[in-house]
Chain A
Amino acid sequence: MAGLILKNIKKSFGKVKVIHDIDLEVEDGEFIVIVGASGCGKSTLLRMIAGLENVTDGEILIDNIKVNDKEPMDRNIAMVFQNYALYPHMSVFKNMAYGLKIAGLPKAEITERVSKAATMLELDGLLDRKPRELSGGQRQRVAMGRAIVRQPVVFLFDEPLSNLDAKLRIQMRLEIKSLQQRLGTTSLFVTHDQIEAMTMADRMVVMNEGVAEQIGSPMDVFQKPETVFVAQFIGSPAMNIIKAVSDKLILKLENGSSLKCLTQSNGDVLVGLRPEDLIPDKKGEIVVDVKLFEPIGASTILHGTLINSDIKIVSVVQGLFSPKEMLSEMSFSISPEAIHLFNQDTGKRIVN
């Protein structure tokens, strides 16, 4: 059964189209992450599902009921905002209880639901505090508590971690994920951070300029990116994309080097090489004029250009390099399975 269905969702502000035709069926209990650069329409999409924006065209079904024209409160959803949006004058308890109070639930049940959520989120001792007396992570938990007590069919998260510092972000990421698994509630999570997307999602939606470029499990998206945009957006450092001319299984790169691959194509293509797939090899075909080393601990990022050209290329090499080992010219090889091919005109992945 599907908890949430989006059918041909479109949105325009006046004449500007911000979302083009998005189709998505979310399974019950699934954790979906919508990821994309800022301005790609991902937050707008979430706000349409929440009922904070009108739907220009298409249908939104929650629990198999069309909710296009329903008020947010009647949609069986709960939302966690980026800046938490806690009511500053209310205690933690009242913040969580406010929606239930409006819904007219009996006092005893409100207290029970709130204290249950508070225990789950380790907020027990803080129920009488005001939001301004809490740390960022605690505020984030209160915002989640407010969502949990509503017992919605769908949780909506709008970049809830981007106001936290790096360490707390990683911790909250795990907490949200494990909480969602315990509650089994269908969730939509919007983020611009591809690591969050990769680690949290059951399936992810990669959006670009109002279009869902690819929908799939994180590993699928990473291993078989369907477009150049997805290939470069997911994975860090980003995938190298190089123009090439192919002749059956042989690729001739712009600087003249040639590579073997397993995908048949003809004519102009784009070759995608992940930085971590480039392996140092004295006999390798890819010769790089190395300009810069970035040691990041376990590995080192090399920045350079392909020899005889000014095509930029990045590679990640295991281990640290001592200054002596830093060569101005290095050769790499890549296994034919690791090469991605894209159509130069459409940006779409080429498959056999």
Chain B
Amino acid sequence: MSGMVENRGLNYWLTHVGLTFGVLVLFFPLWLAFVASTVTNSEVIHPPMPLWPGDQFFVNYGRALIEGDSGQTSASVARMLLNTVTVAIGIAVGKIAISFTSAFAIVYFRFPARKFFFWLIFLTLMLPVEVRILPTYEVVASFGMLNTYSGLIFPLIASATATFLFRQFFMTVPDEIVEAARIDGARPMQFFIDILIPISRTNLAALFLIMFIYGWNQYLWPLLMTTDPSMNTIIMGVEQMIGGQDDVTPWPVVMAASMMAMLPPIIIVISMQKLFIRGLTDSDK
């Protein structure tokens, strides 16, 4: 690295001033939200809005975690976090399991109408949840899955994007490895478990990360199909906490809930960052 620090002219400082300014602009709303979560409600409502944290941190966070908005329309944040983690993991695992196996079938087996099925899967890219939301609701409702985890998870686990990504990855696996496994006597499922899954490790991790965040950020679907506050996910739950008028909304508690809703994805992204970048850039072959 030492060879790269030579150039410290005006450019160097300008770049850094620019970057720092950009970061501050982007960070400011987050800072405001954090400040709002540490003061009393009246301080938030009456201008001017304070810019430095107050002394209500433990009160507000404690209240959000345990009581939520006092059981009006939303559950406690602890409950909602549990719901959201369950749903996000369910969606991520389900998406990976389904897309990994379907990509396996499409790449490694010759069966009638193989191309047709591939394009059929591909077509579903054009049908996101929002487009098919009414029929999906109808199906889930008639299975009696409203207000359940399975109802929250199953309609979202088919993923054409992931199938396509895995297909592309499998196609870069050298044919000789498949053939060597055949000569070694590996049956298709042995090849799948002993070879394909281990060499896809980094891709699996990267996709898990993307899908977890996708699941975490689901808003419309949980909003539509949960009527029981105890099944609320955090993203929609925060919205539910906001009342009709400013004075009945406990803003510091809502902000505390928002801060806590952001934490898990941030922790996961930071802890899996290395694996994630490796999964997207090299294929470990």
Q: Residues on A close to B: CB < 8 A?
A: 50-52, 71-73, 77-79, 81-90, 98-99, 102-103, 146
Contact status of A50 and B183, CB under 8 A, knowing A85-B174, A88-B284, A102-B190: yes
Distance to closest chain A CB from B281 (angstroms): 16
Q: Which of the four size classes fits the interface of chain B?
A: 10 to 19
Known: A85-B174, A89-B198. A103 touches B180 (CB 8 A): no
Q: Which of B184, B185, B190, B201 has the most CB of A within 10 A?
A: B184
Residue from A52, A73, A85 within 8 A of B185 (CB atoms): A73
Is the CB–CB distance between B190 and A81 below 8 Å? no
Binary flags per residue of B160-202, CB closer than 8 Å to A gives 1, else 0: 0000000000000010110111111110001000110011010
Q: How far is A71 from B176 in the complex, measured between Cα atoms in Å?
A: 16
Residue B132 at the chain A interface, CB threshold 8 Å: no
- Add 13 more A-B contacts to A51-B182, A73-B183, A98-B194 (CB < 8 A): A50-B179, A52-B179, A52-B182, A79-B180, A83-B174, A85-B180, A87-B177, A90-B198, A98-B186, A99-B183, A102-B184, A102-B186, A103-B185
Residues of chain B contacted by A85 (CB below 8 angstroms): 174, 176-177, 179-180
The answer, yes or no, to whether B8 is at the interface (CB within 8 Å) is no
Task: Please state if B285 and A79 are interface contacts (CB–CB under 8 Å).
Answer: no
- Interface contact A81-B179, CB-CB below 8 Å: yes
What are 29 A-B contacts defined by CB distance under 8 Å?
A51-B183, A52-B182, A72-B179, A72-B182, A72-B185, A73-B182, A73-B184, A73-B185, A79-B180, A79-B183, A81-B176, A81-B180, A82-B176, A83-B174, A84-B176, A85-B174, A86-B180, A87-B177, A87-B199, A88-B199, A88-B284, A89-B198, A98-B194, A99-B183, A99-B184, A99-B185, A102-B185, A102-B186, A102-B190
Look across to chain B and name the residue whose beta carbon is closest to the beta carbon of A79: B183
Chain A contacts for B177, CB-based, 8 A:
85, 87
* A146 → chain B closest CB, angstroms: 8
Chain B residues numbered 209-251 whose CB sits less than 8 Å from any CB in chain A: none
Q: Are B179 and A88 in contact (CB under 8 A)?
A: no
Residue of A nearest to B284 (CB): A88
Instruction: Please name the 10 residue pairs, one residue from A and one from B, whose CB atoms are nearest each other, closest first.
Output: A73-B185, A99-B184, A85-B176, A85-B180, A89-B198, A81-B176, A72-B183, A102-B185, A72-B182, A85-B177
The residue in A77, A78, A82, A88 that gathers the most chain B C-beta atoms within 10 A of its C-beta is A88
Which residues of B have CB within 8 Å of A78? Answer: 183
Cα of A226 to Cα of B279 in the assembled complex, Å: 56
Across-interface contacts of B198 in A (CB, < 8 A):
89-90
Rounded to whole Å, the gap between the CB of B184 and the closest CB of chain A is: 4
Residue of A nearest to B182 (CB): A72
CA distance A51 to B190 in the complex (A): 19
CA A170 to CA B206, docked complex, whole Å: 43
> In the complex the two chains form, what is the Cα distance from A51 to B184 in whole Å?
12
Q: How far is A84 from B174 in the complex, measured between Cα atoms in Å?
A: 11
Q: Which listed residue, A77, A88, A103, touches B285 by the CB 8 Å rule?
A: A88
Contact of B195 among A72, A84, A87, A99 (CB under 8 A): A87
**How far is it, in angstroms, between the C-alpha of A238 and the C-alpha of B174 when the chains are bound?**
35
Cα distance A79–B174 in the bound complex, in angstroms:
16
Question: Within the complex, what minimum Cβ distance (angstroms) separates A147 from chain B?
Answer: 9
Query: Within the assembled complex, what's the spacing in Å between the Cα atoms of A344 and B6?
Result: 73
Give the residues in chain B near A98, CB-CB below 8 Å.
Answer: 181, 184, 186, 194
Report whether A89 and B199 are in contact in the complex, using a CB–CB cutoff of 8 Å.
yes
Query: Which A-chain residue is minimally distant from B186 (CB atoms)?
Result: A102
Who on chain A is nearest to B173 by CB? A88
Residues of A within 8 A of B181 (CB): 87, 98
- Least CB distance from B181 to A in Å reads 8
Cα–Cα, bound, A89→B173 (Å): 13
Closest to B176 in A: A85
Contacts of B180 in A (CB 8 A): 79, 81, 85-87, 146
* Most chain A C-beta atoms within 10 Å of own C-beta, residue among B177, B183, B190, B199: B183
Chain B residues in 8 Å Cβ range of A72: 179, 182-183, 185
Q: How far is the CB of B92 from chain A (nearest CB, A)?
A: 23
Nearest neighbor of B187 in chain A, beta-carbon distance: A102
Query: Shortest Cβ distance from B64 into chain A, in angstroms?
Result: 45
**Chain B residues near A81 (CB-CB < 8 A):** 176, 179-180
* Residues of A with C-beta under 8 A to B285: 88
Q: Which residues of B contact A103 (CB under 8 A)?
A: 185
- Nearest CB in chain B to that of A88: its residue: B285
Instruction: Please name all residues of chain B whose beta carbon is closer than 8 Å to the beta carbon of A146 when the two chains form the complex.
Output: 180, 184
Contact partner of A89 (CB less than 8 A), chosen from B182, B185, B201, is B201
Smallest CB gap from A85: residue in B = B176
> A47: shortest Cβ distance to chain B, in Å?
8
- List, in ascending order, chain A residues with CB within 8 A of B194's CB: 98
Closest A residue to B175 by CB, please name it.
A85
User: Across the two chains, which residue of chain B brings its CB closest to A75?
Assistant: B183
In the bound complex, residues from chain A placing their C-beta under 8 Å from that of B179 are: 50, 52, 72, 79, 81, 85
Chain A residues within an 8 Å CB radius of B184: 73, 98-99, 102, 146
A77 x B183 contact (CB < 8 A)? yes
List residues of chain A with CB within 8 A of the CB of B190. Answer: 102
Tell me the nearest residue of chain B to A82, going by C-beta.
B176
